A and B are shown apart, each in its own frame.
Chain A
Amino acid sequence: MSIWEYANPRKFMATSGALLPWVSALAAILVVGGLVWGFFFTPDDFRMGSSVKVIYIHVPTAIMGSSAWFMMLVTSLIWLIRRHHVSALAAKAAAPVGMVFTLIGLITGAIWGQPMWGTWWEWDPRLTAFLVLFLFYLGYMALWEAIENPDAAADLTSVLCLVGTVFAVISRYALVFWNQGLHQGASLSLDPEQNVADVFAYPLWTCIIGFLFLFLALVLYRTRTEIRARRLRALIQRERMA
């Protein structure tokens, strides 16, 4: 069996249809469980007080905001190299999901930053790159809507995705590159000096895995819709030609 079998829309629809209920259920259990655990059953941080509870939504959504773009990069490259329509449609389906997660990361970061840093916003490398990534999401989605020919739209949005990847990388690794700005380092690290305490880390990991499954469920669901929309366009074109 080859992974390229899933480039066949029928195979993708059959497999994703079987997987979707399980992925959705796992997403619901992990997101709700992780948020309830973090919100109700973890103590306040000795420096941040109760504002530490914002990490259970800010960190997972920010991680998924940039990870969604990397997923779009892979599927865009598959489209450009192998011309599989399902991969281009998966990238298109993932963009609004990544955009919303990035927006949540930006808003919750600003809400948390105001009492902790004394400002809603700072033009530091990580925050600025994350804002530019959000604008790339908007541009990517607008480009899909602006071009009538689906193959041309897939080509041009794939190129835009390659360019935007620079900001996805910078938004995640800005501190490694420049070591400056207000934003602190990774909340979860293999280095025990940097890592948050276990009492915060366990619910945080639950939320991160939960938001990953939520992303997967939404992308599978939306890709199925895009495949059906493509079939609908083909049928309407045939009707017009008949």
Chain B
Amino acid sequence: MPDLGRYATEVLSAYAVTFLLVAVLIGASVWKARKVLRQLREAENRRGSST
């Protein structure tokens, strides 16, 4: 860990905010993708079984 001196709080909080927001963005994207894919497969199965 480098010695960040008197700006340690600013530097570390900037990196922490960035990692947190990027993680939330990726997490939300994956959650929505899985939900839509599951619903789409269910709808396609219903359509397949009805024809």
Contact = CB atoms under 8 A, between A and B. Distances in A.
Interface string A80-107: 0000000000000000110010011001
Contacts of B43: 232, 235-236, 239
Chief secondary structure at chain B's binding surface: helix
B23 to A, nearest CB: 10
A100 B40 contact: no
B10 A232 contact: no
Chief secondary structure at chain A's binding surface: helix
B10 A39 contact: no
The number of chain B residues touching the other chain, given as a range, is 20 to 34
Given A50-B5, A114-B10, 8 more contacts: A50-B3, A57-B15, A100-B21, A100-B24, A107-B17, A228-B33, A235-B40, A242-B50
Interface of A: 35, 39-40, 44, 49-51, 53-54, 57-58, 61, 96-97, 100, 103-104, 107-108, 111-112, 114-115, 214, 218, 221-222, 224-225, 228-229, 231-232, 235-236, 238-239, 242
